Amino acid sequence: MIATFKKHILNFKRPSGTSRGVLNTKETYFLILKTEESFGVGECGLLRGLSIDDRPDYEEELEGVCENIAMGVNEEDLYEALTEFPSIQFGVETAFKSLQSKNPFELFPSEFTRGEEAMPINGLVWMGDKAFMKEQISEKLKQGFTCIKMKIGAIDFKTELELLKSIRKEFSASGVELRVDANGAFSPKEALEKLKVLSDLKLHSIEQPIKQGQWQEMARLCEETPLPIALDEELIGIFSEEKKIELLNTIKPQFIILKPSLIGGFRGSDSWINLAKKFNMGWWITSALESNVGLSAISQYTFTKNSKLPQGLGTGSLYTNNINSPLEVSNGELNYNPNVQWDFPF
């Protein structure tokens, strides 16, 4: 078997703002496997500044993975050896699954990949000035989204509240579900007060109100909050089952959010989902700005989990140079159109 990797720089159609700064480009890596009969591809979705494996030796690690695959090291052993590189774990899992599939891009055949069923997703509103955020909100509502996720924490809180209030004036909580993502922007001291103000707007949840790693402060917030809290960044870098149990047992969040590229792919996601069920916590799955290759793999996997909540999988249209794929967003749902061919250029 021949294993190679290819770096690909994705260009955003327009700069996308988060509380960690503005994104213009996003790099990703494709792990490509070839035998005489088959081809497989997996995406190693590295997210600079957030992924635990954002390290100087990342490409070196990928070279080692390709050498090991060529020497016949099996997928299971490779995966286990890559604990500190969750995005490469995801790439390895998807590349091998792709290689073994009848169609290298159909990893989890289902009603979704046959185009018979769609998945509800949230419409993502990026940070920016008030006019830009307002424009995005009305665009998402026009497109038929009934769940809007708004990133907050970059402009002043009062302006963000006004934007949320403007949606609530027009749409009740049963008409449009509102989620907010603070990306850790609040300080522990002010967080509870802000959550109380936000809860008046009948929001579904808030993601990561304070920065990760402050377990006791987050536990207090989750206990006292009038608004359900979802852990997101908090899950990054938690590798062992024991540590995951300790985290959930300490903080007791209402929801957890799973990004396969950041938490060790499908196996990592399965592990968190099983614990969430055990602790009676809700969960949903979100992409981490992968190209359509990774996004499609995550979407197909997510469909098999039968979650009834809108998922965070609507990021395929962000780039000018994404990989053309059967993924389509229509009426607030993600569809897979089997009549559209993949166009993978590498």
Cα(87)–Cα(109) distance, integer angstroms: 23
Cα(210)–Cα(218) distance, integer angstroms: 7
Check: CB of residue 129 under 8 Å from CB of residue 322: no
pLDDT for res 132:
87
Same domain, 57 and 186: no
Enclosing domain of residue 28: 2-100
Same domain, 125 and 54: no
Same domain, 228 and 276: yes
Same domain, 178 and 94: no
Spatial CA neighbour of 233 closest among 18, 55, 31: 18
pLDDT for res 16:
78
Cα(206)–Cα(231) distance, integer angstroms: 9
Token pair belonging to 90: 């995801």
Q: Residue with structure tokens 């957890």?
A: 256
Name the pTM for this structure.
0.96
Domain count, the chain: 2
| Domain's final residue, options 100, 127, 146 | 100
Check: CB of residue 227 under 8 Å from CB of residue 255: no
Token pair belonging to 198: 């936000």
pLDDT for res 153:
84
CATH code at position 242: 3.20.20.120
Same domain, 232 and 309: yes
Same domain, 37 and 65: yes
Type and span of the H or E element at 250: helix 241-251
The residues, any chain, with a CB within 8 Å of residue 233's CB and separated by 6 or more, are 50, 183, 184, 208, 211, 212
Spatial CA neighbour of 85 closest among 40, 54, 63: 54
* pLDDT tens over the chain, length 346 residues: 999 999 999 999 988 776 567 889 999 999 999 999 999 999 999 999 899 999 999 999 999 999 999 999 999 999 999 999 999 999 999 999 999 999 999 999 999 999 999 999 999 988 888 888 889 889 999 999 999 999 888 778 999 999 999 999 889 999 999 999 998 999 999 999 999 999 999 999 999 999 999 999 999 999 999 999 999 999 999 999 999 999 999 999 999 999 999 999 999 999 999 999 999 999 999 999 999 999 999 999 999 999 999 999 988 889 999 999 999 999 999 999 999 999 999 9
Cα(110)–Cα(170) distance, integer angstroms: 37
Cα(133)–Cα(152) distance, integer angstroms: 10
Q: Residue with structure tokens 């960044």?
A: 233
Residue 106 belongs to a domain = no
pLDDT for res 20:
65
| Domain's final residue, options 72, 100, 128 | 100
Same domain, 50 and 164: no
Check: CB of residue 328 under 8 Å from CB of residue 335: yes
Strand partners, 34: 2, 39
Cα(141)–Cα(271) distance, integer angstroms: 35
CATH code at position 45: 3.30.390.10
DSSP 3-state assignment of 198?
Answer: helix
Q: Residue with structure tokens 């185009």?
A: 115
Same domain, 95 and 124: no
Q: Please identify every residue annotated as catalytic.
A: 151, 259
pLDDT for res 262:
97
Cα(280)–Cα(275) distance, integer angstroms: 8
Same domain, 211 and 124: yes
